[in-house]
A and B are shown apart, each in its own frame.
Chain A
Amino acid sequence: DAGITQSPRHKVTETGTPVTLRCHQTENHRYMYWYRQDPGHGLRLIHYSYGVKDTDKGEVSDGYSVSRSKTEDFLLTLESATSSQTSVYFCAISELALEQYFGPGTRLTVT
């Protein structure tokens, strides 16, 4: 299995507070991705990175920002969390932008 960890694994936060989720990999893969999974929607791409400091928006990027200051870490930030951002967040990595390997997920609840 690819070495991918996500932290925290569970988080409950209040509307309006900032939240940062961390994805850490030990595989030295170039590409990293953040998805959210919601019932009836499958997985939707939020942002992705194709190298250190190189990021781009995905399908549902509004309300989210990302940063990648080193190869192994990809941070997802909700500047001001809203209830609509309650979801399960998955990080994924890929070496050649082909198959992706996923982290264990973070369950975020915004109250």
Chain B
Amino acid sequence: AQKVTQAQTEISVVEKEDVTLDCVYETRDTTYYLFWYKQPPSGELVFLIRRNSFDEQNEISGRYSWNFQKSTSSFNFTITASQVVDSAVYFCALSAKSGNQFYFGTGTSLTVIP
């Protein structure tokens, strides 16, 4: 069975603080893919990143960085120097090679206070 857990339901930070969003996944597949999506208050879902199970390199994109650790089944997302525009709900998702389905976590609502 596949499962994604985002234990943090809501997080509030003050602008310019760093914040890490946690994502823990479960799968028995050896080949799988992990994703992060952003859902701003306007409601659309925006794809941020995909990570393959065979590539544990961390990724940085501007103020965003992702830490993938197979040993702890985690794929955490850090926003450095947060800004008000980062306020959104962030979803972590898992897709296993054995199927065509995505499994989403329940999301973390991030509020950045000016």
Binding site for B on A (CB under 8 A): 31, 33, 35, 40-45, 48, 50, 56, 58-59, 88, 90, 92, 97-102, 104-105
Contacts and interface: CB of A to CB of B under 8 A. Distances in A.
Interface stretch (B14-22, B64-72, B78-86, B101-109): B101-109
Closest A-B pairs by Cβ, 9 of them:
A102-B45, A42-B106, A42-B104, A43-B104, A97-B100, A99-B50, A99-B47, A42-B107, A45-B101
Contact of A42 (B33, B47, B91, B100): B91
Nearest to B42: A104
Given A98-B33, A100-B47, A58 B106 contact: no
The secondary-structure label for the interface of chain A is: strand
Interface residues of B, number: 19
B44 interface: yes
Contacts of A42: 6, 91, 104-107
A66 B107 CA distance: 27
A50 B100 contact: yes
17 contacts: A31-B100, A43-B45, A43-B91, A43-B102, A44-B104, A45-B101, A48-B100, A56-B100, A58-B101, A88-B43, A90-B45, A92-B45, A97-B95, A98-B95, A99-B50, A102-B37, A102-B47
B33 to A, nearest CB: 6
Interface string B14-48: 00000000000000000001010100000111010
A56 B106 CA distance: 23
Nearest to B92: A42
Contacts, number: 47
A33 B99 CA distance: 13
Contacts of A56: 100
Contacts of A90: 45
Nearest to A102: B45
